[in-house]
Structures are given as structure tokens and as C-alpha cells.
Amino acid sequence: MAIATVNPATGKTLRTFEPYPATAVEQRLARAEQTFQQYRLTDFAHRAQLMRRAAELLDADRETIARLMTTEMGKPLTAARAEAAKCAKAMRWYAERTPALLADEHPAAEDVADAGAARAWVRYRPLGVVLAVMPWNFPLWQVIRFAAPALMAGNVGLLKHASNVPQTALYLEDLFRGAGFPDGCFQTLLIESGAVAEVLRDHRVAAATLTGSEGAGRAVAAVAGDEVKKTVLELGGSDPFVVLPSADIAAAARTAVTARVQNNGQSCIAAKRFIVHTAVYEEFRIAFTARMVALRIGDPMDEATEVGPLATRQGRDELSELVADALALGAEMECEVEVPDRLGEGWYYPPTVLSGITEQMRIHHEEAFGPVATLYRADDLEHAVRLANDTPFGLSSNVWTTDAAEQERFVRDIQAGGVFFNGMTASHPALPFGGVRRSGYGRELSGHGIREFCNATTVWVAQG
């Protein structure tokens, strides 16, 4: 894929970039390593000052960067503004809380004595240069939720962003430099995917984090494993949205639409499989499909637009294939929203609801990355749990029930990195984010996330 800004609302290429030559990549690697040796010695107060300044600059740039994100990957402008605001909030959160999150840990006095020490504690130290391979769907947030904790911990970052959001990638480098971070503290690498392995194998790169497809995760994990380097992977998801009889059905249906079509349906944590107890199935189906049909599809720059285009032509084609396969094997079309003719040049896909899904259909096992919902009827609680776990993924989950025993059952048995009751999955700096199974490993955000790229160093001082 060329490194280029292609407006998905029109299909037109607006700007192209040449990949950095090997000499430029080498310069950035050398600069990153050199900067780390000095930056790691700075204190939390200094890093926090820089991070707060970066948040201030981002707030000032909110409208500009929001329009750039919408131009590059098609998210509605209102959602792009919200993404920029969320990033600034996370930067301030880590600026304020890192000293507590990475404070020295002191075992109980009796344990220290039992270990034969006069004193013993754990100190968190940064690993070094961390390579971040990031996707296009949340082109600012995905990067900031890595960069804010990593830089506050004393690491430095190299960003290999998705090839269709190069201007957003370059903006991020400028943002940190403009805030006063040293030149090598956060750098963008405009390189093609095939060049990632060589960078990861470089001895100056200590670790890597990737958010993206399962295939990309496997490739990075294989190289990192061969080099014995730490990785955090956040891959795909096919999150269940379970509705049980005690739920507020109207509220569940309203939230379900947002959970499915957020970011034009292109979100790993979007609800994709809607599993509804038979006692409330018809009520939910009618309310859900009615709200899907009412969605406003249009130019993502239009303030009234709720669903814009998919980010790439390939993504639209792959989603079309999943739906066609399901229909050919007997799925029923509950609704398909008509895309206005005037949008014909863009990569739009109609919000769609399918029912009658079976195990033979690809969409039952694969992630539908776009505004397509699959609807399942669950016979009872046991059946709902089985359907929720009948996926190779395990990122997050949504369950609608007010019954405490049912809630505990899902906390115990759901195979996912999170379970959200009577709401929809969302990420927040205070809560760990990540999955299990083929959704990846490791955690981002919260104290768990900032410690992923730290060396938990045991310090032991002898008695006497």
C-alpha cells in the first residue's frame, strides 16, 4: 500500500509520501537511542510539564487535527473532535498520576527480613526505545494511549503508523517536539509494512506494541519472539452484546446502535454480535432495526452525519464478501440502509442487520469491520454464554441485565478482557484495556499499561 492520504469520502488521492530511505531510518534510530540515555534520567515532574504542554497544544489544534483525521480515514467530524479531546485528557491523566503508578514498591517488613535483607524494594525503570505499529481507525487515540504512558515512564517512541494516515502520523511527531520533548523522544517513521521487521530486529529497539489485524500481530510477535523482545498486542475483536429479560430494552437497543456504528463500525471494541434472549428477542429486534434504519449516512465533514465511509476500498470489499457469503448460506436481511446516490464515489457501506447466522458462515467466525450487525436468538442464559464465547476473539463484551447473579455469571465465564454491564465498551485511562485469545495479550492504559514497558527491578540491600 502506498503511503498516501486518500479521501475515503471521494476516493481521491490528495497527497503521497515517499518512504524514508534506509539512511533516514538509521538516523532516527540513532537519535532515539541517544535521546533515551538522557531522557531516562529526567524526573516525573519534568516529563509531566512536557506532557501537559503537549495536551495544551492538542487542545488548541483540535479543529485542525479533527478535520485531518476525517479527511484521511473518514470518521465523522464530531467523532474526530471527541477523539482529540480524549487524547488530551489521557495525557493530563498520566502527567498527574505517573508518580503514584510507578512509585517504588516496598514489601512488608517481615518479608524483607525473611529474604535476608536490611532493605528491599521494587523500582520501575524504562526499557528504552519502543516501536509502536498503529492502525488507522483511531489514528490519534491509538497512538496517544501508548505514547502518554511510555514517555511518562521514561521510554522513547518510534511510530510506524498506518500508510493511509501519514499526515496524522507526522502531526504527532510535531506535537511532541513542539511541546518541548527532546528531538528523539517521539519520532514518526514513514516506512512500508515490509520494513517493520528490520526496525524491530535492530538492537536499539527494546520492545514493540501493535494494534491491528491478527495477521500483523502474528508477524510482529514472530520477529519479537525470535529477538526475545517484549511486545503488547491489541488485535481484532468480535464483541458480543448480550440482552437478557431484565434489561431496559429501549435503552439497550439505543445503545446497541451506537456500539455497532461508532467510527463507521470500524472499531475493535465495537459490539458486533447481538445475542438476545428469546423472551425479548422480537422487542429488541424491532427497536434495534428501526434505529439502524434511521441513521444519517453522509459526508463525514457534515455535522449531522452519523455514519461516513469506510476507510479503504479494500475494507469495503471485504465486508461485502462477508455479507454475501452469509446471505448465500441462508442469513436473513433484517435491514439495509440505502446509501444516497450522491455518495457513490466514496467507500460507503450501508448499515446492515443480519439474522439467522450459522456456524457455516464466515461472518460467524470473522470480524466484520464496518456497520454490519449479526443478530442471534438465545434460548436461555446458558445458550447466551455459549454464543458469547463462540468466537476466536476475546477483546471485550457488553451484557444487559440487572440481575446480580447473571452479572456474576458473565464476570466468571466470559472469555474477554472486559465485561461492561448495561452500557457499551469504551476505553478510559484509569481502566486496563486489552484482550485474550486471538485478540492479543498485554494491557494498555491504567497502571497496568504504563508498567508494560518498564523493568520491574528488584533492589536488595544486605543486612549489617
For residue range 49-82, what is the model confidence (pLDDT) as tens digits?
999 999 999 999 999 999 999 999 999 999 999 9
The pLDDT, as a whole number, for residue 387 is 98
* Vertex 289: Cα angle to 288 and 294 (nearest 5): 100
The pLDDT, as a whole number, for residue 361 is 98
Q: Where are the beta strands (DSSP E) in 193-321?
A: 205-211, 230-234, 239-243, 271-277
pLDDT average, residue stretch 195-212: 98
For residue range 388-407, what is the model confidence (pLDDT) as tens digits?
999 999 999 999 999 999 99
Tell me the C-alpha to C-alpha distance, in Å, between residue 363 and each of 196, 321, 324, 358.
30, 9, 10, 9
pLDDT average, residue stretch 83-87: 98
- Whether the predicted pLDDT of 409 surpasses 90: yes
pLDDT average, residue stretch 4-26: 98
Instruction: Give the percent of the chain with pLDDT over 90.
Output: 99
Per-residue pLDDT band for 464 (boundaries 50, 70, 90) equals confident
Can 234 be counted among the known catalytic residues? yes
**Yes or no: is domain 3-236+438-462 CATH 3.40.605.10?**
yes
Specify the DSSP element, H or E, that contains 352.
strand 352-355
- Whether the predicted pLDDT of 416 surpasses 80: yes
| CATH of the domain spanning 239-392+396-428 | 3.40.309.10
Grid coordinates standing for 76? 465523522
3-class secondary-structure state, position 349: coil
Per-residue pLDDT band for 347 (boundaries 50, 70, 90) equals very high
CB 142 within 8 A of CB 268: no
Domain ranges of the chain: 3-236+438-462, 239-392+396-428
- Whether the predicted pLDDT of 149 surpasses 90: yes
Catalytic residue among 173, 234, 306, 366: 234
Can 444 be counted among the known catalytic residues? no
The pLDDT, as a whole number, for residue 65 is 98
pLDDT average, residue stretch 104-126: 98
Catalytic residue among 33, 268, 367, 452: 268
For residue range 20-58, what is the model confidence (pLDDT) as tens digits?
999 999 999 999 999 999 999 999 999 999 999 999 999
The pLDDT, as a whole number, for residue 386 is 98
The pLDDT, as a whole number, for residue 175 is 98
Distance between CA atoms of 275 and 356, rounded to whole angstroms? 12
Burial of 256 per CB tally in 10 Å (0-12, 13-18, 19+): buried
pLDDT average, residue stretch 276-293: 98
